[in-house]
A and B are shown apart, each in its own frame.
Chain A
Amino acid sequence: MPSADEVKTRIEAAIPGAHAEVDTADEVHFSALVRAQAFDGLSRVAQHRLVYDVFDGELGGAIHALALKTEVS
């Protein structure tokens, strides 16, 4: 099971300039606030897709749920 730190590290590694705050109570359900310059000009759907793409195939599996909020930094 991934830790909150692992999820944070993977988001920040995959999205240049991103800063992520990640919480989890059970290492299965996560919530993340992600701020990134890369979100500028993108729709919310496109912003969330960038983050979901980091965990391709894992959402619904090892990561049961990722509650997500994105902001342009």
Chain B
Amino acid sequence: MSDNEIRDAISTAIADNDVILFMKGSPASPACGFSARTVAMLEALETPFAAVDVLPDPRIRQELSAISKWPTIPQLFHNGELVGGCDIVTEMYESGELATALGASASDDAPQEAPVGAEAQAAPMGIENRLG
């Protein structure tokens, strides 16, 4: 993949997933404490989310940060917008804002039965589909 293809794949993944987390490692096996904490908060809220591991290719992180203007990992996106990193997600979790923000989206446009696999097939770069 060229750098541009990676950037396009990241942009598409952000656009195609209501909630997507770029992290180090996978939700089942996080490779960094900040990523692990962010995953734990999303799981505590029972929020379906897609996850991308940035570690397999350093260009994923470079291109992601170029798109988001955000230097650190993890990065959580909701409806195409950067929510923040671990610190902001933690603040929002503790204040209840995160549940409100993510819950509102799920009830608005998520199908009652999450489409297992459909988005995973279209998702680039080994996105783990967490829907359903």
Contact = CB atoms under 8 A, between A and B. Distances in A.
B100 interface: no
Interface string A51-63: 0100110011000
Interface residues on B, range: 10 to 19
A44 interface: yes
Interface stretch (B4-12, B15-23, B38-46, B84-92): B84-92
A44 B91 contact: yes
A7 to B, nearest CB: 15
B85 A48 contact: yes
Interface in A22-73: 44-45, 48-49, 52, 55-56, 59-60, 65-69
B103 interface: no
A49 B83 CA distance: 12
Contact of B69 (A49, A60, A69): A49
B72 A59 contact: yes
Nearest to B92: A44
B72 A60 contact: yes
A48 B83 contact: no
B84 A52 contact: no
Contacts of A44: 84, 88, 91-92
Interface of A: 44-45, 48-49, 52, 55-56, 59-60, 65-69
11 contacts: A44-B84, A44-B88, A45-B88, A49-B69, A49-B70, A52-B70, A52-B72, A60-B72, A66-B72, A68-B87, A69-B87
Interface of B: 34, 69-72, 82-88, 91-92
